[in-house]
Amino acid sequence: RKNLIHITTGSSALDELLGGGIETSSITEVFGEFRSGKTQLAHTLCVTAQLPKSVNGAEGRVAYIDTENCFRPERIVEIAERFELDPEEVLDNILVARAYTSEHQRQILQIELLVHIAAKMVEETFGLLIVDSATALFRVDYSGRGELSERQQKLNRFMSQLLKLSEQFNLAVFITNQVMSTPDGSAGMFVVDPKKPVGGHVIAHASTTRIMLRKGRGEQRVAKIYDSPMLAENEATFEVSSGGVID
Ligand code: ATP
Ligand code: MG
């Protein structure tokens, strides 16, 4: 096995839950309802992945596939300041690609990002690849009756490519995922099931580590390991701050 690295999340409690942080050569999935902190965690990792290895970074660049127009450079600046990194440099090291359809999302991975990630120059070395969200565009593009099996097939192809990239280039892959919502009977109303990630067995199969997030009091968030063969199903509490994820 390659030199596996764990990238810190910014919270020592969450790091401990994950056995040290987000691991390279595998896919870590985070799922939870809206505002549960998935995107904030992704932004924090964009910065911590660039930290020296001695302080649980990956000393690498970051690729961010943004499907919901949620990438915020100004958040990166604040988080970089917390870690005493040069915000401009940190931003320069994040390659953001906006995806508009599920097919576009696949092409970005397969064509645009692959060129950069496969570049052998040391200054081009990537440590982290984020897909926020991995499933949202697939839900939109295959929302009709009878399209579920095609959606799952396409999603499976995307996840396989992700996994291959992560292993080939010793990348930490971090994906966000929504939870299922079902009509609650009243007109147009839906209830989310915070324990049911979208994508079923396709996502379950490809993700090595799955984190279920829920909101706690105030800015507190609770992370729980979901369905892991290796990690105990413990919980960790962290907070979202202006400097990103903290204890
Ligand atoms: P969605 O499913 O809608 O994408 P999400 O899980 O990605 O949701 P985030 O965008 O990560 O949710 O979390 C948003 C929450 O993060 C806000 O409601 C707020 O509580 C917290 N947050 C965002 N920015 C800051 C900040 N600068 N300082 C403190 N907390 C913040
Ligand atoms: Mg989000």
Which residues does a 6 A CB cutoff place in the pocket of ligand 1? Answer: 32, 34-40, 219, 240-242
Ligand 1 pocket check: which of 240, 242, 245, 246 to mutate, most ligand atoms within 8 Å of Cβ? 240
Q: Are 62 and 126 in contact (CB under 8 A)?
A: yes
Q: Atom 14 in ligand 1: which residue has the minimum CA distance?
A: 35
**Tens-digit pLDDT string for the chain (247 aa):** 568 999 999 999 999 999 999 999 999 999 999 999 999 999 999 999 999 999 999 999 999 999 999 999 999 999 999 999 999 999 999 999 999 999 999 999 999 898 888 887 777 799 999 999 999 999 999 998 899 999 999 999 999 999 999 999 999 999 999 999 887 777 777 788 888 999 989 999 999 999 999 999 999 999 999 987 778 889 999 999 999 999 9
Helix pair 38-48, 73-82: axis angle to 10 deg:
60
Report the nearest-CA residue for atom 27 of ligand 1: 242
For ligand 1, atom 5, name the residue with the nearest CA.
35
Q: Ligand 2 centre and the CA of 96: distance in Å? A: 15
pLDDT at 52: 97
pLDDT at 91: 98
pLDDT reported for residue 232: 80
Q: For residue 133, what are the CA distances in angstroms to 43, 121, 189, 225, 231? A: 13, 29, 23, 19, 24
* 139 vs 160: CA distance, rounded Å: 18
What separation in Å is there between the alpha carbon of 67 and the centre of ligand 1? 16
* Pocket test residue of 11, 34, 40 for ligand 1, highest count of atoms within 8 A of CB: 40
Q: How far is the CA of 242 from the centre of ligand 1 (A)?
A: 10
Provide the pLDDT for residue 130. 98
For residues 64 and 67, give the distance between their C-alpha atoms in angstroms, rounded to a whole number.
Answer: 9
Task: Look at residue 1 in the predicted model and tell me its pLDDT.
Answer: 58
Minimal-distance CA residue to ligand 1 atom 25: 242
